[in-house]
Amino acid sequence: MYQKIKDNILYAGLNDKDRVIFDELIPLDNGTSYNSYIVIGSEKTAVIDTMYPKFTKEYLNSFDENGITKVDYIIANHGEQDHSGSIPALLEKFPSATVVTNAVCAKNIQEMLLVPAEKIKIITNGEELSLGDKTLKFMISPGVHWPDTMFTYIKEDNVICTCDFLGAHYIFDDVFAVPSKDLEKSAKKYFAEIMMPFSTVCRKYVQQIRDLKVDMVLPSHGPVHKNPDYILDLYADWAGEKGKNLVLLPYVSMYHSTEEMIDYLAKKLEEKGIPSVKYDMVEGNLGDLAMALVDGTTIVLGTSMVLAGPHPAAFNTVYLASVLRPKAKIASFIGSYGWGGDLFGKMADMLTPLKLDVIEPILVKGKAKAEDYLKIDNMAQIIYEKHKTLGLL
């Protein structure tokens, strides 16, 4: 699909409507797009990011269909193959082209895609490349979300190609973003899975791009933003250090004993003005959990005991939370067992790197009794006081 972005800047990407999961991890509500951009200068033509290998043939054909007969430079903003995977084929089609990228990405595409070193020009931060009447300026921006990432700023047009950063798994007929709840949700899930572990650098790059006062943001997934503040404001919020007045309640419950306690805690929290999100760790959509992790300040995980330990779904959630590095500050566990074992110890260990304030867990045999509900009342009160101390209430 080709579409004019600005004079002599073309969108040359594709929608992948049928993709239902990305990285075999987060389910997609709206497929995704792989965005490639063609910048035609008065002397040279550059392609910024290429294509997911599954669509290489269609991608290459589109150059012929749209009369692009010359490519001088292939700019690799990132080495992951949904953007770099078609570089070898594009080099075959345009053998005189040079791949332009930073040293870290150059190593990646040599090792992962066997791009020959002699075909690569390595640039440094701030270096410029003239296409004649257009100039590309490279901003090496590691950590969003690989060590090899960079942005390409097209100076005369005042637009920036940010690759994965500021992207969304989203498809469209018109490449320009129309703000909507659906787009925001897709961008937030994408942020949660890909960018949240790198929130500190996200905040830095949001500010850098704001300072540039660009006219447009051109990511390599999802729509182009003619109003950059729309996506920059969302990222500033999601990557912020402070969570919201929100408790996450992921749970798995074999005989509903644990679920009854989670429901009771949710009711007690609601009475104190604290919203919660209940999440079924077996049946739920992992994307919903990831999104909730962007906002939540407290996580109380409920699990049944299975074979003397937590249910595997609980381990999965705790592992995900530990690697996504959410902004949560407080955690606890609620659980029910039949005959014994260690329900919480290993999960608490896995969360150690997050340096959470852990409230005394509640463990009951079978169904909760009156004294257990009193403990849950107490847990709700502790959460209330901690949220108040954090200025969330």
CB of 243 to ligand FEO, least distance (A): 26
Residue 49 is a binding residue for ligand FEO (CB under 6 A) = no
Residues of span 155-194 touching ligand FEO by CB under 6 A: 164
CB of 167 to ligand FEO, least distance (A): 7
Residues of span 83-112 touching ligand FEO by CB under 6 A: 83
CB of 147 to ligand FEO, least distance (A): 11
Residue 82 is a binding residue for ligand FEO (CB under 6 A) = yes
Specify which residues 3 forms β-bridges with. 11
Q: Are 302 and 258 in contact (CB under 8 A)?
A: yes
One-letter amino acid for residue 95 of the chain: P
Among the residue ranges 75-83, 247-255, 276-284, 300-308, the one whose residues contact ligand FEO (CB under 6 A) = 75-83
Q: Which residue has the tokens 């007969």?
A: 69
Tokens of 334: 């609620």
Judged by beta carbon, residue 163 or residue 274, the one nearer ligand FEO is 163
Binding mask 206-235 toward ligand FEO (x if CB under 6 A, else -) reads: --------------xx--------------
**What's the chain's Rg over C-alpha atoms?**
24
Among the residue ranges 78-86, 200-208, 239-247, 316-324, the one whose residues contact ligand FEO (CB under 6 A) = 78-86
Cβ-proximal residues to 218 (8 Å cutoff; 6+ apart), any chain:
5, 35, 37, 48, 159, 160, 161, 162, 224
Q: Are 39 and 48 in contact (CB under 8 A)?
A: yes
Interface residue with ligand FEO, options 16, 80, 148, 193 (CB under 6 A): 80
Among the residue ranges 77-85, 195-203, 273-281, 378-386, the one whose residues contact ligand FEO (CB under 6 A) = 77-85
Could you give the C-alpha distances from 315 to 57, 201, 278, 280, 301, in angstroms and in order? 41, 28, 17, 13, 10
Whole-angstrom distance, CA of residue 385 vs CA of residue 287? 30
- Which residue from 337, 295, 339, 294 is spatially nearest to 314, judged by alpha carbons? 337
CB of 51 to ligand FEO, least distance (A): 11
Burial label, 204 (beta-carbon count in 10 A; 0-12, 13-18, 19+): middle
Residue 16 is a binding residue for ligand FEO (CB under 6 A) = no
Chain-centre distance of CA 370, in angstroms?
A: 43
Judged by beta carbon, residue 108 or residue 317, the one nearer ligand FEO is 108
Binding footprint of ligand FEO on the chain (CB under 6 A)? 78, 80, 82-83, 145, 164, 220-221
